[in-house]
Amino acid sequence: MAMDDYTRCDGLGLAGLVARREVSPQELLDTALAAAATINPELNAILQTLPEAGRAAIAAGLPAGPFQGVPFAIKELVLHARGVRCDMGSRLAQGFVPDADTELMARFRKAGLVLCATTQSPELGYNPTTECALYGPVRNPWEPTRSAGGSSGGSAAAVAAGIVPVAHANDGGGSIRIPAGCNGLVGLKPTRDRTPQGPDYADLLCGLAIEFAVTKSVRDSAALLDAVAGADIGAPGMLPGPVRPYREEVNTPPGRLRIAFSATPASGAAIDPECVRAVAETAQLLEDLGHTVVEDAPRFDWEAFLASIHVIWTGYTASAVQGLAAATGRTPGPDTLEVVTLACYEEGRRHSAIDLLAAMAHGNTVSRQAGVFFSGYDAFVTPTVSQLPAPLGTLDQNRAGMSAMDWTRQLFTYVPFTPLFNTTGQPAISLPLAESASGLPIGVQIAGRFGDEATLFRLAGQLEAARPWADRRPRLHAARPR
């Protein structure tokens, strides 16, 4: 298949070609592997290509799912694929090979996706950029001196550069939405408990984290959520299913919605004027589309919120490090962990059960405050990230002398808008609705009410039709002449 034709399709577009027998799954796999060979040496997004696994899956017969035959990559964090190395961006975990698929991986396979690669994560996912010491930085395909975002930066860069049309990602503070925003993609964080985490996890990060994907199009995100949503056996939470398939919502008019917007974070952090402009232009577009648009934002105590997130994240880091040390026989320390990760591990070990319960209780307080706010609005629009994609090295996990709290504060100064919805569990999506004067993508985040992905998909579909992005291509791209 011609590379240009391959990269112009989203996942459903490629699946349609397979269904019509215009292309075979093997041809798509070969094209994806060729794309990785062409562009990844400059991009550094892909850690492993898996040609034999892909060919074996095709030979065994692919399920007749909505993405039958579509090449797919997974992030090396949380999700497990049987027999596929998962380093988690860390020397401590390097060489870890799971012996079974997690439930979500099984559902990705059932959807017809063909696993062909793994992608980079920063160490244990604790960074909104992807620049681990173990493998080096993932470069933004739009501007290689800048970050691809994180922690799912490898997946986002791989999709933006045309290697695969869909890639697994996860989000505990913005890690689907941030790299989607930095790379000009669609990044949905579903409602808490919408997608499975078992059997290895449940309520990961005390409910802050969720698994899903980054995609090129709203319809791909909707169809993929249709394919993988739902509680797995033994899950602690279960949501009602949608009234109709999410895929159908994308082309359904949303009606006249009441929408709030703000480019002023509760943290008081400075926001790049181009990110402010992106939100203002989106608000105007929404008004032009017939919605009632009001400048407003949830009110909550940012410092107390930050402190609660910090306790949960450092506690998770300590637990993860201890588990990996037991599994690998390695000792946590400067030889196995990056400087800031080690500081977070050590601080997390000092927190008590009382500290953790207090942090979770504060999360409940913030969720109730946000719930009151959303009782008056159908959606809330913000920048995805406070700045344009950061220059590489800005968020360095090997920075000497930085305390764990200083690290958390630096991270959430860069991304003050995304973590609220990890705490509340609400769905939120980043859409590539704007560009900077220099041509960098700017993501706009839209959050919805708890459990209401349907409204988000209707609104996102309307915005995609009004301001399409499918023809944009970054500087580093598999179909561009080298």
Residue 147: give its domain's CATH number. 3.90.1300.10
Q: Tell me which H or E stretch contains 57.
A: helix 51-60
Distance CA 327, CA 325 (A): 5
Pairing of strands 71-75, 114-119: parallel
In a domain, 62, yes or no: yes
Structure tokens at 274: 């181009």
- Three-class DSSP category at 33: helix
Domain count within the chain: 1
- Categorize the per-residue pLDDT at 482 as very low, low, confident or very high, splitting at 50, 70 and 90: low
Structure tokens at 209: 């984290």
- Categorize the per-residue pLDDT at 237 as very low, low, confident or very high, splitting at 50, 70 and 90: confident
Tell me which of 90, 175, 217, 308 is the catalytic residue: 175
The pLDDT tens digits of the residues spanning 380-424 come to 999 999 999 999 999 999 999 999 999 999 999 999 999 999 999
Tell whether the model's pLDDT for residue 308 goes beyond 90: yes
Distance CA 78, CA 269 (A): 31
The pLDDT tens digits of the residues spanning 420-455 come to 999 999 999 999 999 999 999 999 999 999 999 999
In a domain, 480, yes or no: no
Closest CA to 82 of 213, 231, 200, 214: 200
In a domain, 474, yes or no: no
In a domain, 135, yes or no: yes
Q: How far is CA 196 from CA 65, 234, 300, 324, in A?
A: 18, 10, 30, 22
Which are the contacts of 21, defined by CB distance < 8 A and separation ≥ 6?
none
The pLDDT tens digits of the residues spanning 150-200 come to 999 999 999 999 999 999 999 999 999 999 999 999 999 999 999 999 999
Tell whether the model's pLDDT for residue 211 goes beyond 90: yes
Residue numbers of the domain that contains 70: 3-466
In a domain, 277, yes or no: yes
Contact 246, 453 (CB under 8 A): yes
Helices (H) and strands (E) in the chain, counts: 16, 13
Contact 454, 246 (CB under 8 A): yes
**Residue 175 designated active-site:** yes
Average pLDDT over every residue of 332-347: 98
Q: What's the pTM value of the predicted model, to 2 decimals?
A: 0.98
The separation between the first and the last C-alpha atoms of the chain, rounded to the nearest angstrom, is 18
User: Taking the CA atoms of the chain, what radius of gyration do you get in angstroms?
Assistant: 21
pLDDT, position 238: 86
In a domain, 360, yes or no: yes
In a domain, 66, yes or no: yes
Tell me which of 90, 121, 147, 151 is the catalytic residue: 151
Average pLDDT over every residue of 332-359: 98
The pLDDT tens digits of the residues spanning 59-83 come to 999 999 999 999 999 999 999 999 9
Helix axes 353-374, 302-328, angle to 10 degrees: 130
pLDDT, position 353: 97
Tell me which of 75, 189, 216, 221 is the catalytic residue: 75
Share of the chain above pLDDT 90, in %: 98
Beta strands in 142-203, from DSSP E residues, in sequence order: 143-147, 166-171, 186-189
In a domain, 384, yes or no: yes
**Residue 75 designated active-site:** yes
